[in-house]
Structure 1
Amino acid sequence: MIALLTRDMRLAVRAGGGFGLGLAFFLIVVVLVPFGVGPQSALLSRIAPGILWLGALLACLLSLDRIFALDHEDGSLDLLATSPLPMEGIVSVKALAHWLTTGLPLVLAAPVLGVLLNLPGPGFGWLVLSLALGTPALSVIGTFGAALTVGLKRGGLLLSLLVLPLYVPTLIFGAEVARRGAEGLAVITPLALLAGITCGTIALLPFASAAVLKVNLR
């Protein structure tokens, strides 16, 4: 499993779909928002949590089609499916590699980019916590979507259409945690719901992704 994780992380970086692309897109979104809404500090402070969360979500979406595509093209996915490793474990490793190369860098970069949007001081810690808790769910859900569309030509658009509705609850509660934290309000309820979504996806979706992959590889 460790060897598979290391291989996937190296492939993600070499193929151009790793942390570099996600961070660049995240930076572009954050930099362009003040030009679109104006330089008002009060307005930027109010919308900063939602913009940062939306940028992180879209950045995670960019590299989803590469999770299984490269392995499918060179035949590695067929070999993995016939290996002694359980398919659920393989899917989980793929999701973890995606989070380490895409989600984790976004979590670490979010406080720096929050300065550009004039995020209130108390909101930085809650923003990092919400992203650290919510981005694993984005990777796991995205892995499920990638499993559904593996082998399809030009499946990137279909993947986006399938995954975006599933991302909405994570986006709502993640942004709400950051917003309430920035305003000094209670965050227990949205934080618990966000944690529940992440735990539920990690517990259930690898089995669904494995089942879908087995069907697609027949």
Structure 2
Amino acid sequence: MGEAPLAAAFTAILRRDLALALRAPGEIVNPVIFFVMIATLFPLAVSAAPETLRQIAPGVIWVAALLASLISMEPLFRSDFEDGSLEQLALAPQPLAWLVLAKLVAHWLITGLPLVVFSPLLALFMQYPWAALPQLMAGLALGTPVLGALGAIGLSLTVGVRRGGLLLALLVLPLYVPVLIFGASSADAAASGLPVSGQLQLLGAMAALALTLAPLAAAAGLRISLD
């Protein structure tokens, strides 16, 4: 199979998912609203003292990003499963894992990228240092694709289950823990003026591994769900 058909199929899936998301802006807006709500409610529940906010900001932002990513996973395969498009993708001459990767890239552009863009506003609201904002955004930019890729594996196994959101959460939340640990650690180290290259390299390695292996696992899960 030549590179041109693979690239054309990848681009077609990417454009299709982006066009569908633009027709339903809620898919873009809802995770961002959820992200903002979580981060803004924490000061009300804990303390509005600047020093307290500065200490909890890395963990709050990463937990909010994790939960926002989780609630945005449901439409990734669900609509395609319901209208029969998923079966057509499985029967396409291109590898299903390649098409899943295209859908993951589109999903990150729709949900992950807005979280990265809005994170500095929430960070400053929580008294996070200006100088550490680039490291915070870099960590989220590397970590959110991992969250999406791991979520796709769980979703591929629950796509045929009605109201499978709770089952999806039970499957993927344990897998999210390492990303949360290293992501929050990098943000905390950056806020303290410490080097963060080690944590960012680990997040980058996780992203490379997830985007390489997760499409294969998700494709296998989708074939199981379609059988």
What is the TM-score normalised by the length of structure 1?
Answer: 0.96
Q: Do residues 66 (structure 1) and 75 (structure 2) align?
A: yes
Instruction: Find the counterpart in structure 2 of residue 197 from structure 1.
Output: 206
Pairing 1:107–2:116 present: yes
Aligned to 1:139: 148
- The whole-number CA distance in structure 2 between the counterparts of 1:17 and 1:173 is 30
User: Are 2:190 and 1:172 aligned?
Assistant: no
**Cα shift at 1:13:** 4.1
In the TM superposition, what is the alpha-carbon distance from 1:16 to its structure 2 partner? Answer: 5.3
- CA shift, 1:12, in A, is 3.1
Q: Which residue of 1 aligns with 2:52?
A: 43
Tell me the residue number matched to 1:97.
106
Cα deviation for residue 59 of structure 1 reads 0.6
1:111 and 1:124 in contact (8 A); partners too: yes
Distance between the aligned counterparts of 1:78 and 1:18, measured in 2? 23
Structure 2 residue runs without a partner (length 5+): 1-9
Q: Is the CA contact 1:122–1:183 (under 8 Å) kept in the aligned structure 2?
A: no
Structure 2 residue matching 1:125: 3-state secondary structure? helix
Please say if residues 130 and 174 of structure 1, whose CA atoms lie closer than 8 Å, have aligned partners that are also in contact.
Answer: yes
Note the alpha carbon deviations across 1:104-163, whole angstroms, 9 max, x for none. 000010001111101012221110010011111111111111111111111111011111
Preserved contact between residue 28 and residue 110 of structure 2 (Cα < 8 Å): yes
**Deviation digits for residues 51-95 of structure 1, max 9, x if unmatched?**
111111111111211111100101111111111121011110111
**Which amino acid in the other structure matches residue 58 of structure 1?**
L
Native 8 Å contact 1:9 1:101 kept in 2? yes
Is 1:2 the counterpart of 2:11? The answer is yes
1:23 maps to which of 9, 32, 42: 32
Map residues 72-91 of structure 1 onto 2, 5 A cutoff: 72-91=81-100
Q: Secondary structure at the match of 2:188?
A: helix
3-state DSSP class of the match of 1:213? helix
Task: Work out the number of aligned pairs and report it.
Answer: 218
Deviates more, 1:106-115 or 1:190-199: 190-199
User: Structure 2-normalised TM-score?
Assistant: 0.92
Pairwise CA RMSD: 1.3
- Aligned-partner residue type, residue 37 of structure 1: V
